[in-house]
Amino acid sequence: MKLYHFLKDNLDVIKEMNPALHSWLWSQRYDMQTLEKSVFHNAHGALDWRMQNGQGMFDPVPPTAWYGKWTYGENVDKSATVIIGCNVGYGLNHVLTATPPSHKIVVLEPRPEMLLACLGQTDYTPFLREKRLHFIPPLESAVQEAVRHLDLQFLFGRVILREDTPSKQLGPEYSHWLLRCRARMESFSVEMTTLRLRQDVMVGNELKNFSRAAGDGSLMPLKGTGSGLTGVIFGAGPSLDVNAAHFRDRSPDALYVTSLQALPALQRQGIRPHFCLAIDYSEGMRAVYSRLDKEAARNVPLIYSTKLDPVALAEYPGPTIPLWTLGGLSTFVFNGRELVLDAGGNVGVTMLRLLCWMGMERILLVGQDFACPGDTTHAGGHHGKADAASVSRIYNVKVKDIAGREILTSPQLLAARRDVEDDLSRTTIKAYNLYGGGSPIKGAANVTWAEVCGQKLLESSPENLENLMAAMKKARTPAPRPVFEARARAWSSSLRNVEKRLEKLFKKLDKNQAAVNQLLGQVEVFVKQDPLYTPYLFNEIMDLAGLVRARSRYELRDMAEIRSLFKRIVAKVREMDRYLGQGSAHAA
């Protein structure tokens, strides 16, 4: 194959370093003879790909016209590019030559023959071995993993999504994967922003709630108790005001669940759920109690994320059961012994995931609008209800309802809807949406109240619901509180020694650039060694990673930043020792 000089070497490295992509490639169908005939030099003398219509991909417009527009501004050394479509390599090669070696590049090529054509024309082995360049197969899991590996670029630079326009001539799959990558990137950007800004608060709350949570019990008795049941998830979207009357004064055989924020809205409608759920870590949760009927809530158990604001938790009048979630202490402490749920960033997502874990037969969504189908953001009784016009800065994205009318939503609600849709695509549980004019949810069949009744979606065996509620009572049995050895003294000594070594290196900084980088890299490894402590040290670990991999040169003023960083690390470790150690005043 004359025009595929580099294919074997590139594939050998991919097989070694990216076996998932290699396996995907060899699981696909393509004809090697067609591959050889399809790569040619066009009338302009440029390397090209012959499409099914006989025309070259770059016959109409030469490559330089497309990729000369791909320019880069500030922080290019701390940024990354995601490219959808690689043709015979023009766009990818432009990015490789236009950006510095620290710039990361991810390429998703939906067609195996095009990926092979690209790999055949250029030697990418050094870029692959340096992990600067990464090819991924057209799989949702691969996109998700690739985006998550760009965390430093999201925090310290930019992640730029490039559409290879010439490749769109081959088929619609390029536009499809562009949209999927954009959605993943938007969701991850929201997640990283939340973590960066709020991780200290979230894990700090979990530390303060740690002792209480152990005494409040465990959700494990609820596993599998949803068999044969319908779970009704009540949101607080505007359509709740329209559809709530159907559930009022109805003796349910289905399980009714809602969020703590939406509980006042349900109380206003005369609906009492079997439990409510709260995951919001912010002090804003305290505003719920200005509208909550506390007397009516005494018989409604609250399943709370252990990251919930401790003041909001203390004020709840009814029974409480802890929910341990990923990204906190429980990932290490309770792994395998407790439910540790990926709660997502929206309580509606959390409720869906919890009911799926409980094994519901079907799920009915009510008031889950993920948009403003009318003039208000929430149902009456919700503390966040506002006129859509007054919050246009937040609700600034237009989507369409099932009738094709434009309605407003927010990036956060869009990310939550995508999470719900992704979850529904992975479960065998049937889902329905009692539609009230919001943003349609892929994977949940839109139904009217007449269809809910006609299909008997709310009918379940009364015994099943009784068994579930008995399990919930059992879930409130206190559990022993784990205790951990203190680390602060050892960590303080180690970091002080490193600080002294760095001070010596900084005296001759021009000569010691590499040594400073290497020593900070060792500190990063040291700080990440203990999985119990890494969640609370998330920001410090990210700052260390930025110093190690997103800093091209160190300056004298950086030593002050490093000292401050080390002090923050030691202060947090001491705080954790106070809440988790043997001699803690907070021990159960």
Full DSSP string of 15-70: HHH-HHHHHHHHHS---HHHHHHHEEE-TTS-EEEB-TTS-BTTSSS-HHHHHTT-
pLDDT digits (tens, 9 = 90+) for 325-349: 988 888 777 767 889 999 988 899 9
Token readout for 175 is: 């536009």
Least confident of 145-159, 235-249, 373-387: 373-387
Task: Render pLDDT for 18-70 as a digit per residue (tens, 0 to 9).
Answer: 999 999 998 988 777 778 889 999 988 899 999 989 899 998 888 988 998 89
- What is the per-residue pLDDT across 110-153, written as a single tens digit (0 to 9) for each? 999 999 999 999 999 999 999 999 999 999 999 999 999 999 89
Q: Which of 211, 269, 199 is nearest to 240 (CA)?
A: 269
pTM of the full structure:
0.76
- Would you say 383 and 287 are in contact if contact means Cβ atoms under 8 Å apart? yes
CA distance linking residue 202 with residue 574, whole number of Å: 17
Residues 6+ apart with CB under 8 A from 554: 506, 509, 513, 516, 517
pLDDT tens profile 423-463 = 999 999 999 999 988 899 999 999 999 999 999 999 888 88
Domain limits, the chain: 7-171, 198-474, 488-580
Q: 177-181, 213-217, 394-398, 535-539: which has the minimum mean pLDDT?
A: 394-398
The radius of gyration computed from the CA coordinates of the chain, to the nearest angstrom, equals: 27
Q: How many CB atoms lie within 10 A of CB 539?
A: 18
Query: Taking all residues of the chain, what is their mean pLDDT, rounded to a whole number?
Result: 90
Q: In 97-217, which ranges are E strands?
A: 104-108, 133-136, 159-163
Confidence of residue 2 (pLDDT cuts 50, 70, 90): low
Mean pLDDT value across residues 252-279: 93
Show the beta-strand stretches assigned E in 111-216: 133-136, 159-163
Among positive and negative, which fits the CA dihedral 105, 110, 116, 121? negative
CB contact burial 62-82 (16+ within 10 A = b; e otherwise): bbeebbeeeebeeebbbbbbb
List beta partners, residue 364: 232, 432
pLDDT band at 189 (very low <50, low <70, confident <90, very high): confident
pLDDT of residue 516: 97
Task: Say if CB 106 and CB 82 are below 8 A apart.
Answer: yes
Angle at which helix 173-216 crosses helix 140-148, to 10 degrees, equals 70
- From residue 552, how far is each of 77, 250, 514, 565 by CA, in Å? 8, 65, 10, 19
Is pLDDT above 80 for 528? yes
Model confidence at 389, in pLDDT bands (50, 70, 90)?
low
Q: Give me the residue label for tokens 């990440």.
A: 528
